[in-house]
Structure 1
Amino acid sequence: MSDVVQFGAIVSTLVLCVVTVLSLIGNLLVIVILLKYENLKSFTNCFVLNLALSALVFTSGLPFLAQYHYLDQWVLGDFACKAHVFVLDSGVYSSVLFLTLMTLQRHRVLVHSLPDGGDKCTCFALCLSVCAWVVSFVAALPATLHVKTQPWYDEAHCMYDSIDWQRAAAYQKIVFFFIVFGIMCFCYSRILTTVLNSPSSKRIRTVKLISVTVVVFVLGWAPYNIVILLWTLSHLDPFKDCNWSINLNYANYITQCLAYSHCCLNPVFHAFVGVTFRTHLKVIVQKILPAPQAAHFATPQLPMFGLDSVSVTRLLVALHPLSSGAESAIEGLGR
């Protein structure tokens, strides 16, 4: 087991530190661009803003987790133990909820041809955002109330006060994941049907954007949820083997890093797949860097999709049956 601890102390700590720095830079940049350049009366922009705030809330708990992995003991006391669990859990749940709201909004705009903004929409988006934060905080409370600093192998650890509550917290996260995954599959399948039935010759590019959005979510969260599901079965005979337990601990470190990276960096991915965000980034870079260096940002590209800004814009115009709100929705399909 010492090899597993050493793996967590080196690899997991390094990944969490890198993710923390990237998340702070990326999400703060997203927030600055939204507040300075974008229309916050748009549902999509409102949810992206909240998603970035959620990522920053989550990121604030990562340094505590990193030191925990590095030292393999909790040295910050009981209050910090509860606070870091609350911050991480509320960040996870709010991230998942805002992804769900963004998915439902895209479905609303692209399938039902409804507007993406307006005064009434702003009020509604604000109410939905407040509700999402309240639900996230409530969902994080049980774990917060049932973790504390306690001795384990002669060292202090931040742990649940009973195995039953630890399993309950694991089941809650798994349920959240499958609900969101089900909603994403339903909404994006309807969106794909709408896009594929449009006369656009470039609809395959939109299909790529949608596919990557779903794949990134699944790769980020599915492995982690599978691992914690297997952990809940560790009391059963087939899963009590020592080698199985060691491999599960390795898998937990790896999948946790994947999931937490997704939670922190997902808003950045969502934002900068959009044409306007990358255009605003170019403006900011040109103000900060000398002209020769800023020139590298002159034509934002999406190599993985074979798309540039002009192509995406033409694609938006070509999607015949969609409402005016569809432009901002498709532009943010990667969000």
Structure 2
Amino acid sequence: MEEQNMLTTTADYDYGDTTTMQYDYDYDYDYEDELCNKTDVVHFGAIFNTSFFSVVVALSLLGNILVVVILAKYENIKSLINVFTLNLAVSDLIFTVGLPFWAYDQVNGWTLGETACKAVNFVFYVGFYSSGILVIMMTIHRYVAVARPLSNLVSDTKGFYGILASIVIWTVSPVLASPAVIFYKVMEQDLRMYCDYEDHYWKLWGTYQQNVLFVLTLLIVCFCYTQILCRLYRPNAQRRRHKTLNLIFTLVVVFFVGWAPYNIVIFLRSISLHPQPAVDSATMSKTCESYSKPLDYAFYVSRFLAFSHCCLNPVFYAFVGVKFQSHMKRMLKGWGRHRRNSIPRRSTRLTITSITSGEEFSF
């Protein structure tokens, strides 16, 4: 009897899918199992993700499409910073494409076939990694612009560095996302289809790859902005110091608050994919209630905060700039003038018609 109560396999101890980009169904468990019933966790994830990701998708589409339109209509697209901003908007739009599919998957399971499974996850990972790479590049560019304002990297008007950066971004990010095409499969568990990495090794690879990207980005952001702040405290930088300090502080705080909890949670959840010591049923049940289930709830919340970057990036990397604000006002005024000009023409036509018909109307 004692041997029957012991859980000796890693699969028995696995508390759920630890891939950082997949919704957590915890297919390694029977939800009716008294040891670790996670039905409430799955229901929470379905409601939470569907509701909040709908908002993220709407705001991301609005903000990033506006960025693309403004850049195409008013800006010199060869400028390096504009190339970065355009690529970031495109990257966020690509990232956003995958969210509705995952919201559907969370509620209904994966019913779209294996080709769609691979394609959706590949596109999503491309958007994820390209966005991270772009944040690194834009941070370095800001540092160079302050430290060496006469550098060719800052004054390039022919678009050479922009083309080079674009090639790097859209070459490296598909390579990093390629495991999704090879190792994602549609599988069935508990009469429900799901799309996930077939092998635990690649789940760990995906998790630690994103942890490394976060740590690298955090180090570069901290170093570059620290150097920028040191230069802003020079006497000749007094005039714009306050506004720039506020912007830098906001960027760092939003980046850290958004991505640090998420990366900590996915790292902690990846531990369950490693070989685990044998535990009895009482220990497993206690661990489920005190550790595994709270970690699953934290995963849903922290992932929402992290994935919200696709709708926050347009605000922090585009619309806070004076030029973008000016272009936005100009575009809105143009739409307003067009609307006002169209109304009198329609009113004049209607007034003539009413006179010829012998009837009087007020418009």
Query: So what's the TM-score if we normalise by structure 1?
Result: 0.82
**Partner residue in 2 for 1:280:** 327
**Partner residue in 2 for 1:242:** 288
> For each residue in 1:194-249, what CA deviation from the matched residue of structure 2 results, as whole angstroms up to 9, or x when unmatched?
11114314413211111111111112211111111001112556996112111111
Based on CA coordinates, which of the two structures has the bigger radius of gyration?
2
Partners of 1:108 and 1:114 within 8 A in 2: no
Pick aligned residue for 2:85 from 45, 48, 52: 48
**Structure 1 stretch displaced more, 167-176 or 242-251:** 242-251
**Separation in structure 2 between the aligned mates of residue 201 and residue 23 of structure 1, nearest angstrom:** 34
1:10-89 correspondence runs (5 A): 10-71=47-108, 73-89=109-125
Q: Which amino acid aligns with 1:207?
A: L
**Separation in structure 2 between the aligned mates of residue 218 and residue 144 of structure 1, nearest angstrom:** 30
Say if 2:145 is the partner of 1:109. Answer: yes
In structure 2, the gaps of 5 or more residues are 1-37, 341-363
- How far off is 1:172 after superposition? 0.4
Partner SS for 2:77: coil
Say if 2:174 is the partner of 1:129. Answer: no
> For each residue in 1:74-115, what CA deviation from the matched residue of structure 2 results, as whole angstroms up to 9, or x when unmatched?
111111111111111111100000111101111111012235
Q: Percent identity?
A: 44
Partners of 1:151 and 1:157 within 8 A in 2: yes
**Separation in structure 1 between the aligned mates of residue 207 and residue 76 of structure 2, nearest angstrom:** 38
**Separation in structure 1 between the aligned mates of residue 58 and residue 307 of structure 2, nearest angstrom:** 13
Alignment CA distance shift 1:268-1:202 (3 Å): closer
Q: Which amino acid aligns with 1:86?
A: F
**Separation in structure 2 between the aligned mates of residue 288 and residue 263 of structure 1, nearest angstrom:** 26
Say if 2:67 is the partner of 1:5. Answer: no
**Partner residue in 2 for 1:210:** 248
**Partner residue in 2 for 1:221:** 259
**Partner residue in 1 for 2:190:** 153
- How far off is 1:143 after superposition? 2.8
Partners of 1:12 and 1:253 within 8 A in 2: yes
**Partner residue in 2 for 1:329:** none
Q: Which amino acid aligns with 1:85?
A: N
**Cα RMSD between the aligned structures?**
2.1
- How far off is 1:57 after superposition? 0.7
**Separation in structure 1 between the aligned mates of residue 183 and residue 140 of structure 2, nearest angstrom:** 33
Q: How many residues align?
A: 291
Partner SS for 1:114: coil
> For each residue in 1:173-207, what CA deviation from the matched residue of structure 2 results, as whole angstroms up to 9, or x when unmatched?
10011111111111111111111114314413211
Q: Which amino acid aligns with 2:55?
A: V
**Separation in structure 1 between the aligned mates of residue 62 and residue 138 of structure 2, nearest angstrom:** 23
In structure 1, the gaps of 5 or more residues are 294-335
Pick aligned residue for 2:315 from 265, 268, 272: 268
- How far off is 1:264 after superposition? 3.9
**Separation in structure 2 between the aligned mates of residue 178 and residue 5 of structure 1, nearest angstrom:** 30
Q: Which amino acid aligns with 1:242?
A: C
- How far off is 1:117 after superposition? 3.5
Partner SS for 2:308: helix
Partner SS for 2:186: strand
Partner SS for 1:61: helix
Partners of 2:251 and 2:316 within 8 A in 1: no
**Separation in structure 2 between the aligned mates of residue 145 and residue 252 of structure 1, nearest angstrom:** 26
Partners of 2:265 and 2:299 within 8 A in 1: yes
Alignment CA distance shift 1:225-1:144 (3 Å): farther
- How far off is 1:60 after superposition? 1.1
Say if 2:271 is the partner of 1:233. Answer: yes
> For each residue in 1:126-145, what CA deviation from the matched residue of structure 2 results, as whole angstroms up to 9, or x when unmatched?
11111111100000001331
**Separation in structure 2 between the aligned mates of residue 61 and residue 35 of structure 1, nearest angstrom:** 25
**Separation in structure 2 between the aligned mates of residue 165 and residue 7 of structure 1, nearest angstrom:** 27
**Partner residue in 1 for 2:8:** none
Alignment CA distance shift 1:254-1:194 (3 Å): same
**Structure 1 stretch displaced more, 127-136 or 37-46:** 37-46
Partners of 2:143 and 2:225 within 8 A in 1: yes
